[in-house]
Structure 1
Amino acid sequence: MFQFFKLNDPFRIIGVVFFLLLWTILYLVFADLPLTQLQMSWMLLGERLGDGLLFYRDLVDDTGPLSAGFFFLIDWIFGGSSLAYQIIGRILIFIQVIYWNSALIRYRVFDENTFIPAIVLLSLFHISFDMLSLSPALLGSTFVIFALSQLFSQTILQKESSEATLLIGIYGGLATGFHPIYIVFLPFLIIVGVTISGFSFRQLILSLIGYFTPLLLIVVYYFWSNGLEDFLRIWPLSFSSETYQFHTFATLGILFAFPLVLGFLGYFFGVLSKGASINQQKQRQILFFWAIFAGLAIFISRHHAALEMMVFLPLISYLITAFFLGVKKKLPLQIGFLGLVILLPLGSWWFWAENRSLQSQYFLKESANPQWPGKSVLVLDSDLSLYQDHSMKGPFLNYYLSQELLEKERTFARKVQLFRMINKQMPEVVYDPHGDFGQLLSQFKELERKYKMEKTNVFILK
């Protein structure tokens, strides 16, 4: 199997497609893993935007604005289909895999032209099941892959390329628009562009213009939609709100253990032990710099989940490919390759199936009979399981970010905005286990007259 992908033959794409289809069918038919809290929030976001609401002004969440728009399109075309998220996610993964492999060949990152990077990167996406589904992290990482590939082009071209320089910035800006943690791409671009790629002042300015262009277009959209103030007020809070601790470092360590071992071996036996051209040294430095900024992205992320770790996949795939191409003994090659493409997906599948109870905060609880049949509900809690049986109504989707908004001292104008936000979407039932809504009602007497407490932590619209 290893020799099949080692050849530089376009027909090897068939093998990549077969691998992706095989594991897709196995996961979708037999895995039977429940929806996660994050997946539910993205589906709800798309649904609520389809009702004519404006993100940030009418809905409080920390999803990137471009991802929110994409989820709206998915809901508009497919409705609330979790299968659509699974299929579209795998299409994006296939695009990443083929583009990344083509870039490594085109810019001669390795001495051998091979499809090993493609199958390696595809296998790494199977570290965790949530990496395979559509998510802001996956949407953003697609453009990071595009940007890194364009940075590689700057290490090998002997003339200044304005198009590539502009594209690097545009891809980085789009990645940030899809997933806010990719804001780290801006300092990464400046440092790497100046120190490694040797950007001239003109190239640096051009790349910065490219980076800020998508973000400025987002600002213009919110300005014309009368939501700029809400965007500028809520978007920065997504970096300071409390973190959703879905996965522990122990869980992530178990999932990434085998790929990290192969990457460690690739560093010593494939990178250090082999000479490299000046261009290859620059490309290596770019990836190692990205690893540093990827770590910073994880630090500022408000969701500690396995899917956020895909920011490291380009570097890990590079190191593992270096291992496969640098080690000549057949036995370690076969063991490493079979372990990566077969045992890793199987091991991940087994881990999630056997440890579902340990990840109870990440998975939605099993659906039960609706507590308030036919009524719209607002859940002021991090657990969104109630939305499986009830439609959502109300502005507060991300609980921790909503707390940041609710607990801040408010001017009279902010109080008016908050009242309008709630009064525009009056949920029939408010589930308030932490007492946030009760405190809010005491500040807004008009709202207090519209709701009555049915039982502890539950308010009903009169």
Structure 2
Amino acid sequence: MLSFFRVNDPFRLIGIGVYLLILTLAYLLINPFSFTTTQLSWILLGERVGEGFLLYRDIIDNTGPLSAAFFRIVDFLFGRSQLAYDLIGRALIIFQILYWNSILIKFRAFEENTYLPAIIMAALFHFCFDMISLSPALLGSCFLILALGQLFSQTVLQKETTESTLLIGLYAGIATGFQPNYLLFLPYLIFTGIAISGFSFRQLMLSLIGYFLPIILIGVFYFWREGLKEALEIWPLSFLTKKTNFQSVFDWFTLGAFPILLALIGYFIASVLRGSTINQQKQRQLIVLWLIFSAFEFLLIKRQAAYQLVIFIPALTYLITQFFINFKKGLISNLSFYLLIIGLPIASWWYWQNFSSPNYLVQETQESYTPSLMIMGNDLTPFQKSSLGGPFLNYELSKIYLEKERGLPEKARIYQLLQTQKASQVLDPNGDFKALLEQFPSLQKDYQATKPGVFELKK
């Protein structure tokens, strides 16, 4: 199988398509995973935006505004379909696989043109079940990989390319609109553009203009919808919320030790034992810095789950391909290939079926339907049969937002949010809503406590 994908023949993509189809059917038909807590929150966000409410202004959540718009489209077309989330995620993965393999061939990243990166990348995406489903990180990474491809072009072309330098910044800015944590890749683009690609001052300014253009357009949209002030207040708060560890770093290293080992060996062989062109050296520097900045991105994330790891996949694909390019034949290369392509997806499926955190996968609930529900806590399970009511979707962010020192205008703003978005039921395990009722006595006439931690809207 290794020799099959080594050949520079586009028809090898058929084999990759069959590989992805088999894995897709296995994941969907053989004991599939249920919705995750994060997926359920994105579904609720899409529904709420579809009802005419605006993220940040009316909904307190830390999802990127472009992702919120995308989830609204998915909700409009498919509703709460988990299959839609899975299939859209796989479509985005196929795009990344085809694009990244074409970039590596086009700019001569290796000694030989090969379709090994495509099959390796497909396997790495099956490191965890939530990496192959739709997420803000996956949406944003599609544009970051486009930016990386444009940076690769700068290692080959020996002239100023206005279009390429503008696109580098533009793609990165759009990625940040989908996933705010990707803001960290702005210094990556600046540093690599200057140090590796040799940007002139004019090229650097073009990239920065391209980067801030989509962000400015998002700001103009919020200004037009009278939500810019709230967006500028809530967006920075999202970086201050408490981190939720849905999966541990130990779990990641348990499954990822083998791919990481292959990547390290591939890097060592390519950089120390084998010669390479100046362009290939620059490309390798881009990849190494990409990994470093990707690691720093985890200082910003607030939901520690494997779907955030998709940002590492292009770089790991590049380094692992170096391993197989230089180990052309023999038992080691063939055994390593089968362990990666077949062993990793099977091992990850078994591992997460048995060791997934109970607070990550949404368990079936027997609770009755509630027209609109607001939960002042992290357990979103009751939302399986209910729609979001009220402005508070992300509990940790909402808690910080409510605890801020506020003057009379800001308190009036919170009161207006609660008054215009009355939930038919409020679950209040931590007493936050009770404190709000004490702060705004006029709301007490609308709600009654039916049991500890539960408030019902009076009819």
* Equivalent residue number for residue 326 of structure 1: 326
Partner secondary structure for residue 251 of structure 1? helix
Identify the range of structure 1 (263-272 vs 106-115) with the bigger mean alpha-carbon deviation. Answer: 263-272
Code of the aligned partner of 2:372? S
Native 8 Å contact 1:101 1:118 kept in 2: yes
* Equivalent residue number for residue 421 of structure 2: 425
* Equivalent residue number for residue 29 of structure 1: 29
* Equivalent residue number for residue 128 of structure 2: 128
- The within-5 A match list for 1:32-431 is 32-356=32-356, 359-370=357-368, 373-431=369-427
Native 8 Å contact 1:31 1:349 kept in 2: no
Deviation sequence 1:357-404 (CA, Å, 0-9, x none): xx111111222232xx44421111111000012222111111101111
RMSD: 1.0
Native 8 Å contact 1:109 1:283 kept in 2: yes
Runs ≥4 residues deviating over 6 A: none
Deviation sequence 1:306-338 (CA, Å, 0-9, x none): 111111111111110000001134211111111
Hey, what's the Cα distance between the residues in 1 that align with 2:387 and 2:66? 24
Native 8 Å contact 2:147 2:172 kept in 1: yes
Hey, what's the Cα distance between the residues in 2 that align with 1:169 and 1:375? 44
TM-score (norm 2): 0.98
Hey, what's the Cα distance between the residues in 2 that align with 1:139 and 1:68? 11
Native 8 Å contact 1:87 1:133 kept in 2: yes
Deviation sequence 1:225-272 (CA, Å, 0-9, x none): 011011101111111111111111111111211211111221223442
Hey, what's the Cα distance between the residues in 2 that align with 1:288 and 1:97? 19
1:461 maps to 2:457: yes
Code of the aligned partner of 1:231? A
Code of the aligned partner of 1:219? G
* Equivalent residue number for residue 7 of structure 1: 7
Hey, what's the Cα distance between the residues in 1 that align with 2:432 and 2:307? 30
Identify the range of structure 1 (255-264 vs 377-386) with the bigger mean alpha-carbon deviation. Answer: 255-264
Hey, what's the Cα distance between the residues in 2 that align with 1:432 and 1:273? 61
Deviation sequence 1:277-311 (CA, Å, 0-9, x none): 11111111111111111111111111111111111
Native 8 Å contact 2:241 2:396 kept in 1: yes
1:449 maps to 2:450: no
Identify the range of structure 1 (252-261 vs 53-62) with the bigger mean alpha-carbon deviation. Answer: 252-261
Deviation sequence 1:383-426 (CA, Å, 0-9, x none): 10000122221111111011110111111111111111111110
Partner secondary structure for residue 298 of structure 2? helix
Identify the range of structure 1 (323-332 vs 429-438) with the bigger mean alpha-carbon deviation. Answer: 323-332
Deviation sequence 1:4-48 (CA, Å, 0-9, x none): 111111111111111111101110111321111000001111011
Q: 5+ residue gaps in structure 1?
A: none
Hey, what's the Cα distance between the residues in 1 that align with 2:328 and 2:24? 32
Hey, what's the Cα distance between the residues in 1 that align with 2:141 and 2:52? 28
Native 8 Å contact 1:271 1:322 kept in 2: no
Native 8 Å contact 2:270 2:276 kept in 1: no
Code of the aligned partner of 2:366? A
Deviation sequence 1:343-368 (CA, Å, 0-9, x none): 10000000011224xx1111112222
Partner secondary structure for residue 453 of structure 1? strand
TM-score (norm 1): 0.98
Hey, what's the Cα distance between the residues in 1 that align with 2:27 and 2:82? 13
Deviation sequence 1:68-103 (CA, Å, 0-9, x none): 000000001111111111000000000000000000
Deviation sequence 1:188-239 (CA, Å, 0-9, x none): 1111111110000000000000000010000000000011011101111111
Code of the aligned partner of 1:360? P
Hey, what's the Cα distance between the residues in 1 that align with 2:157 and 2:139? 28
Hey, what's the Cα distance between the residues in 2 that align with 1:231 and 1:375? 28
* Equivalent residue number for residue 437 of structure 1: 433
Alignment size in residue pairs: 458
Hey, what's the Cα distance between the residues in 2 that align with 1:261 and 1:284? 17
Partner secondary structure for residue 258 of structure 1? helix
Hey, what's the Cα distance between the residues in 1 that align with 2:8 and 2:31? 34
Identify the range of structure 1 (386-395 vs 97-106) with the bigger mean alpha-carbon deviation. Answer: 386-395
Native 8 Å contact 2:367 2:382 kept in 1: no
Hey, what's the Cα distance between the residues in 2 that align with 1:407 and 1:130? 32
Code of the aligned partner of 2:104? L
Hey, what's the Cα distance between the residues in 1 that align with 2:427 and 2:390? 11
Hey, what's the Cα distance between the residues in 1 that align with 2:204 and 2:12? 38
Q: 5+ residue gaps in structure 2?
A: none
Partner secondary structure for residue 376 of structure 1? strand
Native 8 Å contact 1:379 1:432 kept in 2: yes
Partner secondary structure for residue 300 of structure 1? coil
Hey, what's the Cα distance between the residues in 2 that align with 1:389 and 1:442? 29
Native 8 Å contact 1:429 1:460 kept in 2: yes
Hey, what's the Cα distance between the residues in 2 that align with 1:41 and 1:118? 32
Code of the aligned partner of 2:442? E
Q: State the percentage of identical aligned residues.
A: 50
Code of the aligned partner of 2:54? L
Code of the aligned partner of 1:4? F
Native 8 Å contact 1:435 1:457 kept in 2: yes
Code of the aligned partner of 1:398? N
Hey, what's the Cα distance between the residues in 2 that align with 1:251 and 1:260? 14
